[in-house]
Chain A
Amino acid sequence: MNQCQITLIVNDRDYELWVAASDTLLDVLHDELGMADVRYGCGEGVCGTCTVLLDGEPVNGCLTLAVQAAGHQVTTMRGLLGPGEALHPLQECFLRRGASQCGFCTPGMVLTALDLVRRTGRPTREEIRYALVGNLCRCTGYTKILDAIEEYADL
């Protein structure tokens, strides 16, 4: 297996790593760096649980190779936390609205929604629904998630 030495910049911290050329970004973030907020779901780019921001844009961690992310800014949900691990305002909205149940989909939902609100300001409910087609939740029925994102966009 081809090993490469790379620098990954995750949540503003540099990590010097040896990775296999075939390792996905998800493999490295979750298995090597122990980041539990980046999760293996489907491996096909459909479910959204491995969502990370690459230079600010949501991408599939499972469909991006770690070597492709070398030198670029990677943000996971934990990267949104404030000083003292204070929750991001969007996470507060999720909490208030009961938009997380088991929580497995939450990091992907939060990062995707954050990108949407950054780009569009105040998306309509239909636009939020469209932006989240690639983020599956098996618990909430989505209604509370839409409520939380609308509340955040109105802040």
Chain B
Amino acid sequence: MRLLAGATQEARILAGGQSLMPMLNLRLAHPELLIDINPADQRQPSVALSNSGGLLRLPALTRHRVLLEHDLIRQHCPLLAEAVRHVGNVRVRNRGTIGGSLAHADPTSEIGCCALATGAQVVVRGPHGDRTVPVSELFAGYWSTTLAPAEIITDVLIPVARPRQGWSFQEMVRRTSDFAIVAVAVIVNLAERTGAIAAANVALAGVADRVVLADPGLTGSAASDAAIDAAAARIADTLEPADDVHASGAYRRRLARVLTARALREASTRAPSGDRA
């Protein structure tokens, strides 16, 4: 923190290094100061439930491999455990971290997508102490965040899955482990008695300059095929993805519609139906 606050030139924080190191190797970034925050003994930080049991607290240096394998995460945030399968490869997952991934703010980030869909927050430490920032207010555009230069993410807080919750992660890539062309993360909560949709969060990657949240407008509706298809089409219509070398904007918008519908359907089916008679 002292190094970061005292930096007079461009400083970058090195977490897992699986995005920043390629940028250094390819000369896309050239910070004057690189601050390595990895513990010298390579000790793994511990994932824990909050005292109330409502939040998962993941230290910023939690590696992707832990997200994939940890029992608490598989149980309380299965969406994230599933999505991390799509992140990088074995080596990248052994080093890459959840805090580093969010701070890197890649617009195709699977982890960013899940953080938005689950309503996660980050704990940020700066010269004036700690504050909590919802991930929905973290991203500012391509690879940039709303954090001040001397601030650093210390923890990620994820609300645990509720009893009547379903989830789905859908992604289209040209090659397994590559950057997503479009990815969609969905969380659906069903109402206690009626089984109608009480809340649905849709987060999309690869469709804008940052990962984005979209409102499917399904609250109170039954999770019917027609309602889901209409919601997916509405969301796709609000997006204006850019053309790039990997895919045209029109193709990305089409993917956003198809994957959103698929994800809403799977999430609704997955939500335990409870005492609906």
Q: Which residues of A contact B (CB under 8 A)?
A: 21-22, 24, 43-46, 48, 51, 54-55, 57-60, 62-65, 67-68, 71-72, 112, 115-116, 130-131, 133-135
Q: Which residues of B contact A (CB under 8 A)?
A: 14, 17-18, 21-22, 24-26, 34, 36, 38, 40, 42, 88-92, 94-95, 175-177
How far apart are the CA atoms of A135 and B91 in the complex, in Å? Answer: 10
Q: Which of A45, A51, A72, A112 contacts B22 (CB 8 A)?
A: A45
How far apart are the CA atoms of A135 and B89 in the complex, in Å? Answer: 9
Q: Which residues does chain B contribute within 8 Å of A24, judged by CB atoms?
A: 21, 25
> Looking at A45, A62, A133, which has the most chain B CB atoms within 10 Å of its CB?
A45
Chain B residue at minimum C-beta to C-beta distance from A47? B89
Q: Which residues does chain B contribute within 8 Å of A62, judged by CB atoms?
A: 21, 25
Q: Which residues does chain B contribute within 8 Å of A65, judged by CB atoms?
A: 14, 17, 21, 36
Is B91 in contact with A45, judged by CB distance below 8 angstroms?
yes
Is A48 in contact with B22, judged by CB distance below 8 angstroms?
no
Q: Which residues does chain A contribute within 8 Å of B91, judged by CB atoms?
A: 45, 48, 51, 58-60, 63, 112, 134
How far apart are the CA atoms of A62 and B36 in the complex, in Å? Answer: 16
Is A133 in contact with B42, judged by CB distance below 8 angstroms?
no
Is A63 in contact with B21, judged by CB distance below 8 angstroms?
yes
Q: Which residues does chain B contribute within 8 Å of A133, judged by CB atoms?
A: 89, 175-177
Is B36 in contact with A134, judged by CB distance below 8 angstroms?
no
Is A57 in contact with B94, judged by CB distance below 8 angstroms?
yes
Chain B residue at minimum C-beta to C-beta distance from A71? B40
Q: Which of A48, A51, A63, A130 contacts B18 (CB 8 A)?
A: A63
Q: A54-B94, A130-B176 are in contact. List 7 more A-B contacts (CB 8 A).
A: A21-B34, A22-B34, A45-B91, A45-B92, A58-B94, A59-B91, A133-B176
Is A134 in contact with B88, judged by CB distance below 8 angstroms?
yes
Chain A residue at minimum C-beta to C-beta distance from B14? A65
Chain A residue at minimum C-beta to C-beta distance from B94? A57
**9 closest cross-chain pairs (CB), A and B:** A134-B89, A63-B21, A43-B25, A44-B22, A133-B177, A60-B91, A133-B176, A57-B94, A58-B91
Q: Which residues does chain A contribute within 8 Å of B92, judged by CB atoms?
A: 45, 60, 134
Chain A residue at minimum C-beta to C-beta distance from B25? A43
Q: Give the Cβ gap from A139 to chain B, nearest Cβ, in Å.
A: 18
Q: Which residues does chain A contribute within 8 Å of B36, judged by CB atoms?
A: 65, 67-68
How far apart are the CA atoms of A54 and B25 in the complex, in Å? Answer: 20
Q: Which residues does chain B contribute within 8 Å of A112, judged by CB atoms?
A: 90-91
Q: Give the Cβ gap from A130 to chain B, nearest Cβ, in Å.
A: 8
> Looking at B26, B36, B92, B176, which has the most chain A CB atoms within 10 Å of its CB?
B92
How far apart are the CA atoms of A57 and B63 in the complex, in Å? Answer: 12
Chain B residue at minimum C-beta to C-beta distance from A135? B89
Chain A residue at minimum C-beta to C-beta distance from B69? A119
Is B17 in contact with A63, judged by CB distance below 8 angstroms?
yes
Is B21 in contact with A45, judged by CB distance below 8 angstroms?
yes
Q: Which residues does chain A contribute within 8 Å of B40, judged by CB atoms?
A: 71
> Looking at A21, A112, A133, which has the most chain B CB atoms within 10 Å of its CB?
A133
How far apart are the CA atoms of A60 and B92 in the complex, in Å? Answer: 7
Chain B residue at minimum C-beta to C-beta distance from A50? B91
Is B22 in contact with A59, judged by CB distance below 8 angstroms?
no
Q: Which of B89, B95, B175, B177 contacts A64 (CB 8 A)?
A: B95
Is A68 in contact with B25, judged by CB distance below 8 angstroms?
no
Chain A residue at minimum C-beta to C-beta distance from B175? A133
Is A43 in contact with B90, judged by CB distance below 8 angstroms?
no
How far apart are the CA atoms of A131 and B92 in the complex, in Å? Answer: 12
How far apart are the CA atoms of A72 and B94 in the complex, in Å? Answer: 15
How far apart are the CA atoms of A43 and B22 in the complex, in Å? Answer: 6
How far apart are the CA atoms of A46 and B89 in the complex, in Å? Answer: 8
How far apart are the CA atoms of A45 and B24 in the complex, in Å? Answer: 12
Q: Which residues does chain A contribute within 8 Å of B89, judged by CB atoms?
A: 45-46, 48, 133-135
Q: Which residues does chain B contribute within 8 Å of A64, judged by CB atoms?
A: 17, 21, 95
